[in-house]
């Protein structure tokens, strides 16, 4: 199965919900009840209030660039207009143009898939000939250290680690020193899950970031926030607070497979203006891919809205 097919399968629940309401809108002469149903389905998909309001304004207007389009065409063009602002060039191109070692600090709350995301990126970069180093900064969970160790063995990537319970800032220090000594191209730093509302936990992340900056001015070059796509509007609140505290430079959206709330990607780009580096729709290595606005919209929405 191709990546596009997996993405379409992953977003099928969202697509089916939106398609049902759009079908009712066709030929309804903008019946208020039907419009309310469309609005509700888009909000339930977590497309976001701003986007829904813009869509309804276009639908209710008899002028403008969408006046001769179907509601589905209006929605597709609107989503593309928003999501293209979240597209970026592939990470390996950013790495090759940037300083070496290029340092990723990966952050997020518990259970969003940070360690798995790092592992998949490490495999990808290694396959592209980039010498990569894992740093097991999640010293709170022994399982996280073990998981990264297993991935390191599988992909041929060295792992800098300490024992469970060690100071994560010390692990980060050793990782940066090792990366410079070994002429590494990419450093991928894992961190423990941090509740964005807990000041002491966020302060620990800030300490890790200060250590990185001290040992390598200008780093981390990418502060990658991993978000669980099934959390909807809660993911936006997390992103906003992590960004305010640490200066997020890119997002990875995971667990988009099987959710009826896949529109959250739209809301994140619209409200936070942060680039979407990666989206994930499964556990396999190939299930984490660069974000592509056109492919995402095609997977999120039906190709056409059939008549009643």
Q: List the single range of 46-60, 162-176, 255-269, 283-297 with lowest mean pLDDT.
A: 255-269
Q: What would the mean pLDDT of 17-32 be, rounded to a whole number?
A: 67
* pLDDT score of 10: 79
DSSP secondary structure string, 58-124? HHH-SSSTTTTS-HHHHHHHHHHHHHGGG----HHHHHHHS-SSEEEEEE--TTS-HHHHHHHHHHH
First to last CA, the chain: 31
* pLDDT score of 64: 45
Q: List the single range of 7-11, 232-236, 262-266 with lowest mean pLDDT.
A: 7-11
* pLDDT score of 258: 66
Q: Is 277 helix (H, G, I), strand (E, B) or coil?
A: strand
Asked if the model's pLDDT at residue 133 lies above 90, the reply is yes
Question: What is the number of other CB atoms lying within 10 angstroms of the CB of residue 139?
Answer: 22
Grade residue 284 by pLDDT with cuts at 50, 70 and 90. Answer: confident
Average pLDDT value for the chain: 86
Asked if the model's pLDDT at residue 308 lies above 50, the reply is no
* pLDDT score of 65: 47
**209 against 283, higher pLDDT:** 209
**173 against 299, higher pLDDT:** 173
* pLDDT score of 232: 81
Distance CA 52, CA 150 (A): 44
* pLDDT score of 194: 67
* pLDDT score of 301: 82
């Amino acid at each position: 199965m191709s990546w596009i097919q997996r993405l379409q399968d992953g977003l099928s629940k969202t697509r089916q919900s939106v398609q049902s309401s759009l079908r009712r809108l066709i030929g309804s002469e903008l019946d208020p009840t039907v419009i309310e149903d469309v609005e509700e389905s888009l909000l339930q998909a977590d497309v976001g209030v701003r986007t829904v309001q813009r869509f309804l304004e276009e639908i209710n207007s008899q002028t403008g660039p969408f006046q001769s389009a179907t509601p589905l065409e209006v929605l597709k063009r609107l989503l593309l207009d928003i999501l293209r602002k979240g597209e970026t060039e592939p990470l390996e191109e950013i790495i090759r143009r940037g300083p070496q070692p290029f340092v990723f600090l990966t952050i997020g709350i518990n259970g969003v898939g940070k360690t798995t995301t790092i592992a998949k990126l490490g495999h990808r970069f290694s396959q592209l000939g980039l010498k990569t180093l894992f740093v097991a900064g999640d010293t709170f969970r022994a399982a996280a250290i073990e998981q990264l160790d297993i991935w390191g063995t599988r992909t041929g990537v060295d792992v800098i680690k300490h024992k469970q319970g060690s100071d994560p800032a010390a692990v980060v220090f050793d990782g940066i020193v090792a990366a410079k000594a070994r002429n590494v191209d990419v450093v991928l730093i894992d961190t423990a899950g941090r509740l964005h509302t807990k000041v002491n936990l966020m302060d620990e992340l800030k300490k890790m970031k200060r250590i990185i900056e001290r040992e390598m001015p200008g780093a981390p070059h990418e502060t990658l926030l991993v978000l669980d796509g099934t959390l909807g509007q809660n993911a936006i609140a997390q992103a906003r607070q992590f960004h305010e505290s640490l200066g997020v430079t890119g997002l990875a959206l995971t667990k988009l497979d099987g959710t009826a709330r896949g529109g959250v990607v739209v809301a994140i780009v619209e409200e936070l203006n942060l680039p979407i580096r990666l989206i994930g729709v499964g556990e396999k290595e190939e299930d984490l891919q660069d974000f592509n606005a056109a492919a995402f919209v095609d997977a999120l929405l039906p190709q056409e809205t059939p008549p009643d």
